[in-house]
Amino acid sequence: MRVLAALSGGVDSAVAAAQAVEAGHDVVGVHMALSSQPQECRIGSRGCCSIEDAGDAARAAEIIGIPFYVWDLAEEFERTVISDFVDQYRKGHTPNPCVRCNEFVKFRELAERGKALGFDAVCTGHYAKIVDGPHGPELHRGNDTLKDQSYVLAVMGPEELTRVVLPLGHAPSKAWVRAEAERLGLGVSNKPDSYDICFIPDGDTQGFLRQHLGSASGDIVTPEGEVLGTHSGYWNFTIGQRRGLHIDRPAPDGRPRYVLETRPSTNQVVVGASELLSVNRIDASHLVWLARDDDAADGRDLFVQVRAHGAPVPVARVERRGESHREDSSGSVSVHLAETIRGVAAGQSLVIYRGSRVLAEATIESARRD
């Protein structure tokens, strides 16, 4: 099988490409240059897509013994990830740019270019598994539960499951992957993982948003409308936030306050007691269904995850509406939870699991307590 291996310059993608070669595939490596200013995109273990990363990817390909190319996808990344990130905050949502990047860049753009060039599949260093099920390929959690990335891959859509190779899904741990890199002499075995938001390498998300959205003074209010303080823009706050509220007056009962809601139309931030964050119903749009239509009908052994590394929460019932393909945004879903969950933010991904298998992904629009 002809495989296009995405080489980020890190240890995971390098080992994944090497394993694809060892499995007998005809592999070509490609580094996706996502930044228009690569010299500014790595600070220690923050950020990615730097000149350093491109060089590490090239060296890994040379050691593995595969052809290597660099593709400039900075324009696509700016349009589909960075601009969307800013727009979502403007709407009062809390987006997950890694999900967006996987959807539009790492799988849609890469897979479509690879297919046009005659490649059968794309190989990445994600920690998740493609399993041959009775009705076709299935997306499952990786063996290393601490590194599992099935949450951010659920958005790829069912059509991509037949065209992706994920060698690290069976890796027992990150330590094992680093040991493999050392054994293969890849030179990146001790390279630190990148984390946080790659296009905000200094970690100052509020500074980034100020640069793009500016400042706008507004009120911090209780659910009843009492003004408790002021802020410089609702986009600086997310659901469940406790720190950085700068409220001088304590609550009447002395307990801390949390962000319950942001209101873009009035530039208000609503705060209140922690129990007001608890919800048991989540409504989500842009549904991507990876299973058969009836796979979630009985509600058995179903769980949802609303954060990349959040704990799975048991589901009582799933209500699905409309079409559910990545190209069609009309599909939606309502998930009724078997127990309450706190701090669910609009804009984040909701992923439905049956055991270790991913059934669906959707974008959270609202959450409440029935």
Q: What is the span of the domain harbouring residue 249?
A: 215-272
pLDDT at residue 37 in the model: 61
CB 335 within 8 Å of CB 279:
no
Lowest mean pLDDT among 33-42, 208-217, 256-265, 324-333: 33-42
pLDDT at residue 253 in the model: 84
What's the rounded Cα separation, in Å, for the pair 165 and 161?
Answer: 9
Find, among 158, 160, 177, the residue nearest to 110 by Cα.
160
pLDDT at residue 358 in the model: 96
> Is 29 a member of any domain?
yes
pLDDT at residue 326 in the model: 54
Model confidence at 39, pLDDT cuts 50, 70, 90, reads low
Residue 327 in tokens: 């190209």
Model confidence at 50, pLDDT cuts 50, 70, 90, reads low
42 and 133 share a domain? yes
Q: How many CB atoms lie within 10 A of CB 82?
A: 23
pLDDT at residue 251 in the model: 83
Reported as a single tens digit per residue, the pLDDT across 191-238 is 887 766 888 877 889 899 999 999 999 999 999 999 999 999 999 999
The pairs formed by 94-100 with CB atoms below 8 angstroms and a separation of 24 or more are 94/238, 94/239, 94/345, 94/346, 94/347, 94/348, 95/347, 95/348, 96/152, 96/308, 96/347, 96/348, 96/349, 97/197, 97/198, 97/199, 98/152, 98/308, 99/152, 99/155, 99/349
Residue appearing with tokens 């609009």? 346
> Is 111 a member of any domain?
yes
Partners of 333 in the beta sheet? 284, 320
362 and 317 share a domain? yes
What's the rounded Cα separation, in Å, for the pair 38 and 223?
Answer: 45
DSSP secondary structure, 237-250, as one string: --TT--TT----SP
Residue 353 in tokens: 């699991």
> Is 201 a member of any domain?
no
Q: Cα 126 from chain centroid?
A: 12
pLDDT at residue 355 in the model: 93
Secondary structure, 3-state, 4-50: EEECCCCHHHHHHHHHHHHCCCEEEEEEEECCCCHHHCEECCEECCC
> Is 268 a member of any domain?
yes
* Number of domains making up the chain: 3
Helix (H, G, I), strand (E, B) or coil at 304: strand
320 and 260 share a domain? no
113 and 257 share a domain? no
259 and 299 share a domain? no
Q: How many CB atoms lie within 10 A of CB 38?
A: 18
Q: In percent, how much of the chain has pLDDT > 90?
A: 69
Mean pLDDT score, 133-140: 93
79 and 175 share a domain? yes
pLDDT at residue 241 in the model: 93
Helix (H, G, I), strand (E, B) or coil at 332: strand
Which sequence positions are flagged as catalytic? 101, 198
Angle between helices 11-22 and 174-184 (to 10 degrees): 70
Mean pLDDT score, 60-70: 96
Reported as a single tens digit per residue, the pLDDT across 266-285 is 999 999 999 999 999 999 99
Mean pLDDT score, 309-325: 87
pLDDT at residue 41 in the model: 52
Q: Which residues of 304-325 are buried (b: 16+ CB within 10 A; e: fewer)?
A: bbbbeeeebbebeebebeeebe
Residue appearing with tokens 């593995």? 64
AA identity, residue 139 = L
pLDDT at residue 200 in the model: 85
> Is 197 a member of any domain?
no
pLDDT at residue 309 in the model: 86
CB 53 within 8 Å of CB 39:
no
CATH number, domain at 342?
2.40.30.10
- 349 CB contacts (<8 Å, ≥6 apart)? 96, 99, 151, 152, 154, 155, 306, 361, 362, 363, 364
97 and 142 share a domain? yes
Beta strands in the chain (DSSP E): 2-6, 26-33, 42-43, 46-47, 68-72, 121-123, 128-133, 136-141, 164-165, 218-221, 227-231, 258-263, 268-272, 278-289, 302-305, 313-321, 332-342, 349-354, 357-368
pLDDT at residue 332 in the model: 93
AA identity, residue 203 = G
Q: What is the mean pLDDT of the chain?
A: 90
On the question of pLDDT at 36 being above 80, the answer is no
Mean pLDDT score, 42-51: 56
CATH number, domain at 239?
2.30.30.280
Model confidence at 292, pLDDT cuts 50, 70, 90, reads confident
pLDDT at residue 284 in the model: 97
> Is 355 a member of any domain?
yes
Q: Cα 331 from chain centroid?
A: 20
